[in-house]
Amino acid sequence: MSKEKSDIQIDASIIEGIRDGDNLAIQQLYQIHFPPIAQMIITNRGSREEAQDIFQETVMVLYTKINKGDFVLSSKLQTFLYAISKRLWLKHLTRGEAKYRKDSIDDYGDTLAVEEAIENHEIIEERLLHMEGSLNGLGEPCRTILYDFYIRGNSMAEICEKFGYTNTDNAKTQKYKCLQRLKKIFFKKYS
Amino acid sequence: MKGINEQDFLAWADAYLREELSEEEKRQFEAYCEATPVHAVLFKQHQALVNDMKVADARSNFKRDLQRMGQAYHQTRQPKSSTKVFGLWDRFKFSAAVAAAIAIVSVFSTLWLTGYYKNLKKTTSDYSALRRDMNTVKRNVNAQNVAIQNMHNSKDNARETMHYGATGFMITKNGYVVTNYHVITGADSVYLQNHKGESFKADIVFTNPEKDLAILHISDSTFKSAKNIPYTFKKQDSDMGEDVYTIGFPRDEAVYGQGYLSSSTGYAGDTLAYQISIPVNPGNSGGPLLDKDGNVIGIISGKQKGIDGAAFAIKTKALIETLNNIPADSLNGKNVVLNNKNVLHSLSRTDQIKRLQDHIYIVKVY
């Protein structure tokens, strides 16, 4: 009983840690959950490197789900991660050839929740990758200006000083132009 | 308020999003957005974009962390699974186990299907049957030995109370006689009768059940020490094919039997016996086996049922060993001194027999 409880506590602390971007939580996640998943992939025609990739993707799915804010762990974390990596691995295996049936290695009830999580993950992943690409596509100094202002939360005065603008108005104009360009690049795909 | 351009609006919106405005100003901003739908849409879009930027960054940070932790994790574990062989083993051990299991199952099922086990069983049962046969033979020999005794028993029973009879012969001139142990087992008294019909009482001096030998001594007062024994005892093993003969008492008269030494070992590989090819019958037990020169080379002991011409004789060597084992107490000062002068070797067979006859007795056991 106490072991079960401590398992639940560990799961909760890991989830908390991931939400906060805590490295220790990631380390713990690796130590506890990587071996069985690697085992599953290796015994199913996978290599150790592929196991790593799948595991990282699995963790990203978990991350997406946690950051969506509505994450409630209905089973043990291990079960959840295992189901996701199984699904991902199956997808990886059947990529380009749809001859495997969906229910070939797991049962149906689990699949739906997992499938949803993965789909969510993929949508967000795509959008954010696109965002990153767009930001990178801006070139300097636009990328850094926007990054400093919006992500690091620096004030316009600091930015003005850093980039050597004569006054904050110039910096503001520059920032506005950069933002417009980002929007142009970013929304090109979605318009 | 209306004439605000996009740039200024977005700067204002940024300020709003960054929580740099006072409560008063916030309400102003919200009111403005409500009043100006174009800018409200713009604001929403801007907010989403900024949020995406933040999330994307956090996410890529997390991803980077994850990768770094992953690498660190694998580096600490790398040495264990660095070799290719171990990697392959990890990968295929399950398949290998399955393959091995299938191989084992198929091997044994094939063996079973092809009747290997049946054959095996048959062979072993052949073997045991063979052994049983041998046991049977052994039993038959024993039974035959009993029969040897019983024949006399039944024959003589009507006439007198004699139990059974066999042959014995003298080994020293002072009255020591050898016969088979099986002849005198359970005897109350033993009498020796020579071919002239004289009967002497004999004591059992020593027995050796393993070698099936019994040493008797004639204790009767009517017995006079014999002249010299005409034959000697050959201690060396005789060769196969040697011409041999025996004299025994399968009936009340002495019967001569002639043959050859057919094997240097006896029943079931017994190295202390010969196999000989002489027609022997119940009653021949204990008779001397002599070679052509008149040396005693063995003592007739039995034969194998179901095999033609397979009789057995105990080697002289076993007799000598038995004699050497007799405790001095049992001898009563009458030492066993074997004769070493052979007077038979130059004689013809008939003359040999004439000289021999005096020293061969019919053993009667009561």
Confidence at A108, pLDDT banded by 50, 70, 90: low
Share of chain A above pLDDT 70, in %: 83
Summarize the confidence of residues B86-98 as an average pLDDT.
81
How many degrees, rounded to 5, is the angle at CA B356 between CA B352 and CA B359? Answer: 170
Give residue B269's pLDDT: 79
Confidence at B110, pLDDT banded by 50, 70, 90: very high
More confident residue, A162 or B166: B166
Q: Long-range contact list for B74-79, CB < 8 A, 24+ apart? A: B74/A52
Residue A120 tokens, joined: 């969510």
Summarize the confidence of residues A24-48 as an average pLDDT.
81
More confident residue, A46 or B110: B110
CA of A172: which chain B residue's CA is closest? B11
Mean pLDDT of chain A: 75
Tell me which of A149-163, B17-31, B147-161 is least confident. Answer: B147-161
Rounded Cα distance between B278 and B245, Å, is: 7
Give residue B158's pLDDT: 40
Rounded Cα distance between A140 and B196, Å, is: 145
Rounded Cα distance between B142 and B270, Å, is: 16
More confident residue, B136 or A20: A20
Q: Pairing mode, if any, of strands B232-233 and B295-303?
A: parallel
Rounded Cα distance between B295 and B230, Å, is: 9
CA of A41: which chain B residue's CA is closest? B91
pLDDT over threshold 90, residue B102:
yes
Composition of chain A by helix, strand, coil, percent to 5: 80, 0, 20
Could you give the dihedral angle defined by the CA atoms of residues B169, B173, B175 and B179, in that order, rounded to the nearest 10 degrees?
Answer: -20
The answer to whether the beta carbons of residues A124 and A132 sit under 8 Å apart is no
Rounded Cα distance between A174 and A187, Å, is: 20
Give residue A1's pLDDT: 43
Task: Determine the distance in angstroms separating the CA of A97 from the nearest CA of chain B, rounded to an integer.
Answer: 23
The answer to whether the beta carbons of residues A27 and B69 sit under 8 Å apart is yes
Helix (H) or strand (E) holding A40: helix A23-43
More confident residue, B226 or B144: B144
- The model's pLDDT over B43-82, given as tens digits with 9 standing for 90+, comes to 787 777 788 777 878 888 888 888 887 787 777 765 554 5
Q: How many CB atoms lie within 10 A of CB B271?
A: 12
Give residue B132's pLDDT: 43
Summarize the confidence of residues B219-246 as an average pLDDT.
85
Tell me which of A11-15, A157-161, B252-256 is least confident. Answer: A157-161
Which B-chain residues 233-292 have CB contacts (< 8 A) with chain A?
Answer: none
pLDDT over threshold 90, residue B98:
yes
- Measured in residues, chain B has a length of 366
- The model's pLDDT over B15-37, given as tens digits with 9 standing for 90+, comes to 777 777 777 777 777 777 777 77
- The model's pLDDT over B331-357, given as tens digits with 9 standing for 90+, comes to 776 777 788 788 888 888 898 888 888
Q: How many CB atoms lie within 10 A of CB B12?
A: 18
Confidence at B153, pLDDT banded by 50, 70, 90: low
- The model's pLDDT over B317-336, given as tens digits with 9 standing for 90+, comes to 888 888 888 888 877 767 77
Give residue B160's pLDDT: 42
- Of chain A, the end-to-end C-alpha distance in Å amounts to 55
pTM: 0.43
- The number of C-alpha atoms within 13 Å of A48 and in the hemisphere containing its C-beta is 20
CB spacing of A172 vs B49 below 8 angstroms: no
Tell me, rounded to whole angstroms, the distance of Cα B223 from its chain centroid.
53
Q: Long-range contact list for B133-137, CB < 8 A, 24+ apart? A: B134/B268, B137/B304, B137/B305, B137/B306
Mean pLDDT of chain B: 79
Rounded Cα distance between B252 and B151, Å, is: 12
Plot region of B27 (φ>0 → left; ψ -120 to 50 → alpha; else → beta): alpha
Q: Kindly list the residues from chain A whose CB atom is less than 8 angstroms away from the CB atom of residue B7.
A: 172-173, 176
User: Would you give the DSSP letter of residue B68?
Assistant: H
Whether the ipTM is more than 0.85: the answer is: no
Domains and CATH numbers, chain B: 6-125 (no CATH), 129-366 (2.40.10.120)
* Residue to substitute from A15, A33, A41, A43, interface B, most B β-carbons within 10 A: A43
**Chain B contact for A89, CB < 8 A?**
no
Rounded Cα distance between A107 and A115, Å, is: 12
Give residue B78's pLDDT: 56
Give residue B104's pLDDT: 96
Highest-pLDDT range among A131-135, A155-159, B175-179, B251-255: B175-179
Confidence at B103, pLDDT banded by 50, 70, 90: very high
Which A-chain residues 149-178 have CB contacts (< 8 A) with chain B?
Answer: 149-151, 153, 172-173, 176
The crossing angle, in degrees rounded to 10, of helices A23-43 and A2-20 is 110
Give residue A177's pLDDT: 79
Plot region of B267 (φ>0 → left; ψ -120 to 50 → alpha; else → beta): beta
Give residue B175's pLDDT: 84
Rounded Cα distance between B247 and B243, Å, is: 14
Beta strands in chain B (DSSP E): 164-170, 176-179, 190-193, 199-208, 213-218, 232-233, 243-248, 255-263, 273-277, 288-291, 295-303, 311-315, 360-365
How many degrees, rounded to 5, is the angle at CA B245 between CA B240 and CA B248? Answer: 135
pLDDT over threshold 70, residue A11:
yes
Q: Kindly list the residues from chain B whose CB atom is less than 8 angstroms away from the CB atom of residue A85.
A: none
pLDDT over threshold 60, residue B122:
no
pLDDT over threshold 90, residue A29:
no
